[in-house]
Amino acid sequence: KDTNGEVLWVWCYPSTTATLRNLLLRKCCLTDENKLLHPFVFGQYRRAWFYITTVEVPDSSILKKVTHFSIVLTAKDFNPEKYAAFTRILCRMYLKHGSPVKMMESYIAVLTKGICQSEENGSFLSKDFDARKAYLAGSIKDIVSQFGMETVILHTALMLKKRIVVYHPKIEAVQEFTRTLPALVWHRQDWTILHSYVHLDADELEALQMCPGYIAGFVDLEVSNRSDLYDVFVNLADSEITIAPLAKEAMTMGKLHKEVGQLIVQSAEDPEKSDSQVIQDISLKTKEIFTNLAPFSEVSDDGEKRVLNYEALKQRRFPPATENFLYHLAAAEQMLKI
């Protein structure tokens, strides 16, 4: 952003599409009217992650005509801490040299050797940033302290691969909350369902709606009126969770859900337990649910995978809500006979 207040796309390597370029300009806070500076944001668009670090240029910098700038990295993996650390180093280089060449050298070094030396502050090592650490960085305990027993709604929605939309006016709050949710279904270790920063833009929504289930974060309250986008709506600002009418049948809660909810709350409220221990407790309970499903599954005719024997499930005479949940869980796990 220059001293005239204009936002310019200055440099790019290796190349980008016009669509992605527009998207990144939209995500980058320099184009924002309200002048709020977001030091770091991240999100996903069509299977590519983007990480954006924005800094204000101090008077002492070599960049005389620039007031702020953003550095964007796109990557195939989810690892906000890793890319935040790396983009901060790149920012310092750009502030010092005012040229992308130095940044480029470091970028290539990390790409090829997994390490770059930075003049003032040690080195950046890719291997310091394990993917599992990124998965465990959020706090399940914070989510439970905000939503209590209602956390089981989120757990159920994730188990059934439903569409969860999260709203909060502050992007930092949205990112922190949404990135933690996939840990509720730890056995999948699937963060590709996370779209932590989405705008109500036709192209982004179209890309989102191609995903079978997702967690999508928005800072525009208008999304609450878009019931075509969600099965479960989380208003983080008001601590409210709403189940969309069309998802009510699949999301009917019963005795099993109450058990899971109580386990989540008890585990999270135990001051002795760390977040990763809480995740472990929930994961064990989740495995137990799959064990419940196992006796009613059989190898399919083509011998490829296990499918649900619905008759056997019905004969077990589970409470209706439990049977309903197990049936929808089998559907989510693609265990239904077509």
**What are the structural domains of the chain?**
18-129 (no CATH), 134-337 (3.40.50.11500)
Percent of the chain with pLDDT over 90: 84
pLDDT digits (tens, 9 = 90+) for 203-214: 999 999 999 999
pLDDT digits (tens, 9 = 90+) for 90-119: 999 999 999 999 899 999 999 999 998 876
Exposed (0-12), middle (13-18) or buried (19+): which is 247, by Cβ within 10 Å? buried
pLDDT digits (tens, 9 = 90+) for 161-209: 999 999 999 999 999 999 999 999 999 999 999 999 999 999 999 999 9
| Element of type H or E holding 140 | helix 140-147
Beta strands in 191-320 (DSSP E): 194-195, 214-218, 232-235, 240-243, 297-299, 306-308
- Contact between 235 and 138 under an 8 Å Cβ cutoff? The reply is no
pLDDT digits (tens, 9 = 90+) for 32-56: 776 788 999 999 999 999 999 999 9
Pairing of strands 48-56, 68-75: antiparallel
- Encoding tokens for residue 109? 């070094």
The model carries a pTM of 0.95
So what's the pLDDT on residue 121? 60
Cα–chain center distance at 10: 29
- Contact between 301 and 320 under an 8 Å Cβ cutoff? The reply is no
pLDDT digits (tens, 9 = 90+) for 116-157: 887 666 689 999 999 999 999 999 999 999 999 999 999 999
So what's the pLDDT on residue 35? 74
